[in-house]
Amino acid sequence: MSDETSTPRPLKIAIVGAGPAGFYAAGQLLAATDVAAEVDLFDRLPTPYGLVRFGVAPDHPKIKSVIRVYERIAKKPGFRFFGGVEVGKDVSHEELAARHHAVIYTTGASHDRRLGIPGEDLPGSHPATDFVAWYNGHPDAADRTFDLTGRRAVVIGNGNVAVDVARMLALTVDELRETDTADHAIEALAASSIEEIVVLGRRGIAQAAFTNPELRELGEMADADVVVDPKDVDLDEGSKAWLERDGADVREQRNVEIATEYAGRTPEGKRRRVVLRFLASPVKILGDDKVTGIEVVKNELVADEDGWLSARATNETEVIDCDLVLRSIGYRGRPLPGVPFDDQRATINNLDGRVLDPETGEPVPGVYTAGWVKRGPSGVIGTNKKCAQDTVTQLLADLEAGALPEPTVAEDIADLVAERVPDHVDFAGWQRIDAHERALGEPQGRPRVKLTSVAEMLAVAHAAETETV
Ligand code: NAP
């Protein structure tokens, strides 16, 4: 950093949203060698880690071990966690901006995209986002109910979330009991009558968004057969050309190989079946007072001049009888009061992480974004590291250029938070929740038993506050 900079040390940054992007941005700011940063990380829940806690499937504990990286960041001098504080409700954007040099929004994408078809809101038709939040013990979803008394579920979408929810419906209770799946979900899934889970893609296997390990896992389930119709791996000319193009994606080629192997299998008569179906789009969810089926139209693939294949509906329709529909067609970010939002893309208006004023197209001084709310719901957890780094690079360049606004209020934000949300949770409070959950899980051989109510979390976070954790 140049000596001419007039910004007083320390550089005070507020980050809103304690998921992967928020933690990576915090870590990068605190690791910057030529600036003494102080980072205040806010989350509306008392628990940090966002989708690592509430999105990653419970039977993927290795993916969750990334938390150790975030714990090291939280130990760095200059880091503070304000859990249970909702920006936009408990404190405003303006109040944060007045007390920091910059605010970075890393609020993710917690809402579902909609299909826009009749019957979408019938009881028994749910966004996968709700189902994921429910089995992961998100406090907002703890009292949701999913009717698992039918025989067939249809999962719409060909992404990794669709695979996660299909797998969760197909795991045995013994497999679930080794995980940190919320107790209410283990109980409901243990009583589930679902025998068949149909995963429906609007395009073909060669266009599916699944990553290879996730698709492979479907073929390795203890008590569920995976079923693929050989016709679906007999590719059309457009798909063959797409897979053989220059710079073809190896992931797509491998997906076809994995599905081809599945198509050659004879079902072993396991208790459940996961049926992968392709080239079909839902047009209507059927039922009077609850889901009884889904009408789908058969699609064909049409190529544009670059060979990119889209789905086009034919005249052929079919009804798949089912009792549960989980719509897994992508997530959406949510607007925040005082922060420019692009409703079409469901992301904060930004260029490379600098938030833009929609009227002028100019950067809003001192306001940044990273993660899914910046770029949309794509990539794996590690993708957010680079995404956050790009944003932090812009922020530090603006600091260097003297383009960051000075805080206008000298009062520590902690004082305002203490006044507005006296029972907010700091990192030591979260560590008490963490230790408590782990202790509950230990005798059962589980990583943790999650607390699913905010009241319980607060009680544990504030119990014995003087004890060291
Ligand atoms: P995604 O990967 O974007 O998949 C969305 C799927 O929905 C696509 O198959 C898409 O089909 C389909 N779709 C969209 N609109 C549709 C419509 N109107 N009708 C029918 N189908 C429709 O999204 P995601 O599964 O929510 O995953 C989000 C991100 O999280 C991804 O990057 C994913 O890899 C990541 N993730 C990773 C893991 C893991 O690493 N284990 C686990 C979960 C999630 P088209 O391709 O035709 O648009």
Do 28 and 171 reside in the same domain of the chain? no
d(C-alpha 361, C-alpha 351), whole Å: 9
Give the pLDDT confidence score for residue 467 in this predicted structure: 54
3-state helix/strand/coil string of 303-372: ECCCCCEEEEEEEEEEEEECCEEEECCCEECCCCCCCCEECCCCEECEECCEEECCCCCCEEEEEEECCH
Ligand 1: centre distance to CA 378 (Å): 8
Give the pLDDT confidence score for residue 465 in this predicted structure: 66
In a domain, 469, yes or no: no
Burial 172-198 (b: 16+ CB within 10 A, else e): beebbeebbbbbbbbebbeebebebbb
In a domain, 298, yes or no: yes
Q: Encode pLDDT of 282-305 as tens digits.
A: 999 999 999 999 999 999 999 998
d(C-alpha 233, C-alpha 225), whole Å: 18
Ligand 1: centre distance to CA 78 (Å): 37
Q: Which of 294, 329, 364 is the last residue of a domain?
A: 329
Give the pLDDT confidence score for residue 429 in this predicted structure: 98
Give the pLDDT confidence score for residue 332 in this predicted structure: 94
d(C-alpha 329, C-alpha 165), whole Å: 12
Q: Which of 314, 329, 344 is the last residue of a domain?
A: 329
Residue at 437: amino acid letter? E
In a domain, 270, yes or no: yes
Computed over its alpha carbons, how large is the radius of gyration of the chain? 24
- For 253, the 3-state DSSP assignment is helix
Residue ranges in the chain whose pLDDT is less than 70: 1-9, 465-469
In a domain, 438, yes or no: no
Q: Are 79 and 41 in contact (CB under 8 A)?
A: yes
Give the CB-side neighbour count of residue 115, counting CA atoms within 13 A.
25
* CATH code, domain carrying 187: 3.50.50.60
Do 291 and 193 reside in the same domain of the chain? yes
Ligand 1: centre distance to CA 160 (Å): 6
The DSSP line for 9-57 is SSEEEEEE--SHHHHHHHHHHHH-TTS-EEEEEEESSSS--HHHHHTS-
Do 63 and 150 reside in the same domain of the chain? no
Residue closest by Cα to atom 1 of ligand 1: 159
Do 165 and 98 reside in the same domain of the chain? no
d(C-alpha 102, C-alpha 314), whole Å: 52
Give the pLDDT confidence score for residue 223 in this predicted structure: 96
Q: Are 58 and 134 in contact (CB under 8 A)?
A: no
Do 305 and 277 reside in the same domain of the chain? yes
Whole domain around residue 106: which residue ranges? 4-110+332-424
Note the pTM of the prediction, 2 decimals: 0.95
- Nearest atom (ligand 1) to Cα of 55: 43
Q: Cis before residue 10, ω within 30 degrees of 0?
A: yes
Average pLDDT, the chain: 95
Do 72 and 204 reside in the same domain of the chain? no
Q: Encode pLDDT of 34-52 as tens digits.
A: 899 999 999 999 999 999 9
In a domain, 387, yes or no: yes
Backbone angles phi and psi of 298, in degrees to 5: -75, 135
**In 67-170, which ranges are E strands?**
79-83, 102-105, 111-112, 125-127, 152-156
Is residue 198 within a helix (H) or strand (E), and if so which, with residue range? Answer: strand 196-200
How many domains is the chain built from?
2
Show the ligand 1 pocket: residues with CB < 6 angstroms: 115, 156-162, 164, 201-203, 207, 209, 211, 214, 281, 328-331, 377-380
Give the pLDDT confidence score for residue 307 in this predicted structure: 84
Ligand 1: centre distance to CA 58 (Å): 19
